[in-house]
Amino acid sequence: MNALVKDPILWTDVGAVTDVPLRGSRRVPTADGDIAIFRTGDGKVFALRDRCPHKGGPLSEGIVHGHAVTCPLHNWSIELATGEAMGADRGKGCAPVVPLEVREGRLFLGRI
Amino acid sequence: MTRERLVVIGNGMAGCRAVQEVLKRDPGRYEITIFGAEPRVNYDRIMLSPVLAGEKSFADIVINDEAWYADNGIALNAGCKVEAIDRIAQVVRVDDGRDVPYDRLILATGSDPIRLPLPGLDLAGVVTFRDLDDVEAMMAASAQPGRRAVVIGGGLLGIEAAYGLARRGMAATVVHLMDVLMERQLDASAGFLLTEAMRARGVETVLEAQSDEILGKDGRVTGLRLKDGRVLPCDLLVMSVGIRPSTALAKAAGLAVERGVVVDDQMRTSDPHIFAVGECVEHRGQCYGLVAPIWDMCRTLGETLTAGSGTYQGSVLSTRLKVSGVDVFSAGKFGGGEGCEDIVFRDAGRGVYKRIVLEGGKVAGAVLFGDASDGGWYFDLMKSGEDVGAFRETLVFGQAATEGLRGLDPSAAVAAMTDTTEVCGCNGVCKGEIVRAITDEGLDTLEAVRAVTKASASCGTCTPLVEKLLKLSLGDAFQAQTGPKPVCGCTHRGHDEVRRRIVSEELKSIPAIMQALEWTTPDGCSACRPALNYYLVCAWPGDYRDDKQSRFINERVHANIQKDGTYSVVPRMWGGLTSSDELRAIADVVDKFDIPTVKVTGGQRIDLLGVKKDDLPAVWADLNKAGMVSGHAYAKGLRTVKTCVGTDWCRFGTQDSTGLGVRLEKFMWGSWAPAKVKLAVSGCPRNCAEATCKDIGVICVDSGYEIHVGGAAGLHIKGTEILTKVATEDEAVWTICAVMQFYRENAWYLERIYKWMDRVGLAAIKAQVEDPEARRALYDRFSYSQRFFRIDPWAERVAGRDSHEFNPLSRRMEFEPA
């Protein structure tokens, strides 16, 4: 990481918002693991590292409901805005949030 | 500053709760070490009975998991025995040779089950009922069909043990010394009702019976002989005749010990640095074996070890029995006595018996059978010593009737509780935590409160209180859930109502259901959406368009997700038959895609494990080319039909079992169901296809086909029950499809056939398949539905359907660090 870079974020166009199904998710592979992009029933989009804080399950394969996703391996519910575990597992872990912007219907993932 | 060292001997309910009480008050004060003889984390011992009965799993009853010890910096030594306490040096000696120093020491060594000194005590198959090892031994003993169990001791635990064993299919008998079951908690009337209720659940009772000798052969128990000469044959003998405080360590250390380790009102033993709590304790001459007093003691000890001001004054006791459908409560002087008056209420139709004992105008005790929902209220009246003269006429009808007639607001008492009052004893949750969770997180159902706070999630005794807190916090917005269990936290409606209304109101989409049935969340959750999707698939086979975002991943991508995110692929092999061409194609696929593991499954299929998600369509394409389709090994639906070789090859075969299996599988494949469905067809009663532990099984006999239902061999082990016998292969197919359709239309999502059968009864299923018209109608509906679902999902995806599932959104960042 170059500390001299002034703008800390580089943005990459990874596709159209509508490529992600409503109440669904798509993956974007990177050199250090997948990123999951979610689109909720009300049309909002979120990006998290695609690893459940519990046992590393792929969150992109879970069921999206409200602004949350339920991990397919052991049913942890993760809040999409923060990556935090919800309910009885609250406070036990967090899937890191990845910067995401929508510009004219396109999805841009940010790198720091 | 170095912290004081707190060492706890005992990793059970008392030891861990004492630590929790200390942490709650002063989390940073002590460096804490816990020793536990059992090699596992802390669990809810009083919930072992539901585990034995198969109603809960071990995971359900864990109170503190490994993370709790780690998060609180507690050193847990599970499976380590403390051999001695050196009070002069202030160290405990561990069996691995270590000496661990302490500043304060807590003894929470609990109690040992009493073993009657009968001849034959050491025979294999003689157990007590105390810890998870005992439960596992009992479960193992009940695994074979036709086994019999005798339980000595008709107290609370003995009855729960016998019930659990009966649930597991054993013929269970309780042998009790006294003339009333649970005589320390029940009067004769309630005891009689309990005997009857247990008989209805498959548990026989022998009263006034003194055990004489345990009989055995080849070192294994074979029966119990009573003093009067009767012999009760058995393969398992459970002794549940009481407990004895475990005091050996304290005694050897020279502490004052009577029946238990003697403590003062601060829970201090005769050594000022050593404390004791739980069942090992004797306080004011009293030893306790129930959970509530243990919680009281731990609270006091928590005070003593932090602020230093706690006082324990003994506990008033109440009891509840954990046998499904048998509601029993008892407290105080339930049997009456001199100077006492009784108020008795009976309702024979409902099997209800209530007896409230008054002394000097106050409640002195109560025993409730059949409807114990007001137990907590009577117990509170008893403890508070309130004069009940003013409402004595309505007292026996319970709190709602009484307070309604007096014009009281039933929530007033709950409102008056302080925030620190404990509501859920099992999980140590106070009123304040629950109210905060309700308001801060917007919870509005019991299930949601359970999920977030764990209050009322274990034994459920405090459920009415938690509901009142919901009512208090939300006002009319809260509708108490009466009747069936809701589908999930998004609704208070049960599965039956949802299914009924989908059909009667012609609801044909998930949003339509959520609107009509007033769902409280915008688009449901991961529990209700798959259920609703299935109900729609079943109700409207021709019309409904499957919502794949409401499918679990396995059903969305038609493969089984594994722990590392790869998938397993199982091609269908009709009736377990395969060929050299198919095997060759499978071998080629394995080589081509570098599939790491190939395994034969229990359902006579070949499982290819470790397939990368993006490779799935290509793998399927190759298998399709060789004529193979999806084996649906991932589906809540028809999985496999296992067969033996029948009349084709076997010298014992009575019918063409392989042919029938293939025919069933070719007709039924692709059908969705509430849960997985496994079939088997055996060609003779030797049953090589193991049909009697399948959801639906067929045993061929000379005169036709026996149809069996409701077996299981997974989490629970259960033999099938025989449904009917038919003469021809056609009738066998019709009957099986009818059962399948009846199950598809009526069971709750994720409910296996055996659980559904437990709920609706074998007779209800029989009535459908033995009535030719009903059977025909069910078969026709199944056939109609199959027109739409007997389609290979793999071929559809090879052709391009849902291709986005198997491709990343973008590969532009693939080689960049994120």
Please indicate, yes or no, if residue A92 is contained in any of the structural domains: yes
Domain annotation covers residue A11:
no
Domain co-membership, B344 together with B390: yes
Q: Model confidence over B793-806: pLDDT tens digits?
A: 999 999 888 888 88
Q: Inter-chain contact A28–B451, Cβ cutoff 8 Å?
A: no
CATH of residue B98's domain is 3.50.50.60
pLDDT at residue A3 in the model: 39
**Tell me, what's the pLDDT at B535?**
97
CA distance B812 to chain A (A): 7
B563 touches chain A (CB under 8 A): yes
The CA distance from B392 to B387, in Å, is: 9
Mean pLDDT of chain B: 89
A-chain CB neighbours of B522 within 8 Å are 41-42, 66
- Are the Cβ atoms of B529 and A65 closer than 8 angstroms? yes
pLDDT at residue A6 in the model: 43
Nearest CA distance, B702 vs chain A (angstrom): 47
Which residues does A16 contact at the CB level (< 8 Å), separation at least 6? Answer: A105, A106, A107
User: Do both B13 and B38 map to the same domain?
Assistant: yes
Same domain, B175 and B224: yes
Mean pLDDT (whole number) for B438-460 = 80
How large is the ipTM? Answer: 0.86
- B428 pLDDT more than 90: no
Q: Provide the domain count of chain A.
A: 1
CB contact under 8 A, A73 and B808: no
- At B381, is the secondary structure helix, strand, or coil? helix
Each residue's pLDDT tens digit, B289-313: 888 889 889 999 999 999 777 889 8
- The mean per-residue pLDDT over the stretch B117-128 comes to 92
Structure tokens at A45: 């989009």
| Residue range B71-88: mean pLDDT, rounded | 92
- Does residue A37 lie in a domain region? yes
Residue B603 domain flag: no
| Residues B503 and B641 reside in one and the same domain | no
CB-based contact (8 Å) between B804 and chain A? yes
Residue that finishes a domain, picked among B505, B533, B551: B551
In this complex, do B523 and A61 lie within 8 Å of one another by their Cβ atoms? no
Across B455-478, average pLDDT? 77
The DSSP element (H or E) to which B401 belongs, if any, is helix B399-405
CATH no. for residue A90?
A: 2.102.10.10
| A88 vs B294: which has the higher pLDDT | B294
Question: How near does any CA of chain A get to the CA of B565, in Å?
Answer: 6
Question: Which class for B620: exposed (0-12), middle (13-18), buried (19 or more C-beta within 10 A)?
Answer: buried
B216 and B255 belong to one structural domain = no
User: What's residue A1's pLDDT?
Assistant: 39
Interface of A with B in 45-74 (CB under 8 A): 55-58, 61-66, 68, 70, 72-73
Structure tokens at A30: 């990177």
Q: Are A94 and A81 in contact (CB under 8 A)?
A: no
- Alpha-carbon gap, residue B68 to B412, rounded angstroms: 36
Answer yes or no: is pLDDT of B411 > 70: no
> Which position has the higher pLDDT, B259 or A91?
B259
Q: Which residues constitute the domain of residue B101?
A: 4-111+245-305
Considering the domain boundaries, does residue A5 fall inside one?
no
Whether A110 is in a domain gets the answer no
Same domain, B390 and B421: no
Residue B408 confidence (pLDDT): 60
Of B187, B212, B241, which residue constitutes the final position of a domain?
A: B241
Which has the closest alpha carbon to B378: B396, B361, B404?
A: B396
pLDDT, mean of residues B181-205: 88
Are B234 and B249 part of one and the same domain? Answer: no
- In chain B, the number of structural domains is 6
* Residue A78 placed within a domain: yes
Q: Which of B522, B523, B808 sits opposite A28 (nearest CB)?
A: B808
> Is residue A112 assigned to a domain?
no
Considering B185, B209, B241, which residue would you say is the last residue of a domain?
A: B241
- Check which CATH number belongs to the domain holding B431 and give it: 1.10.10.1100
The first and second tokens of residue B270, run together, are 């005769």
Among the residue ranges A88-102, B355-369, B402-416, B575-589, the one predicted with the least confidence is B402-416
pLDDT for res B1: 56
Six-digit token pair at B573? 């092999």
> Domain for residue B322, yes or no?
no
Could you tell me the maximum CA-CA distance found in chain A, to the nearest angstrom? 43
Q: What is the pLDDT of residue A2?
A: 40
Interchain contact A24–B (C-beta under 8 A): yes
Q: Which residue has the higher pLDDT, B614 or B441?
A: B614
**Sorting pLDDT into bands at 50, 70 and 90, what band is B479?**
low
* Domain carrying residue A48: 18-104
Whether B104 and B137 share a structural domain = no
- Reported as a pLDDT band with limits 50, 70 and 90, residue A5 is very low
Query: Within a domain: residue B209?
Result: yes
Q: In the predicted model, is pLDDT for residue B377 greater than 70?
A: yes
Do B723 and B757 lie in one domain? The reply is yes
Same domain for B202 and B148? Answer: yes
Query: So what's the pLDDT on residue B501?
Result: 92
Chain B, 524 to 543: residues with Cβ < 8 Å from chain A are 524-526, 529-530
A78, amino acid identity:
I
pLDDT tens digits, one per residue of B158-173: 999 999 999 888 999 9
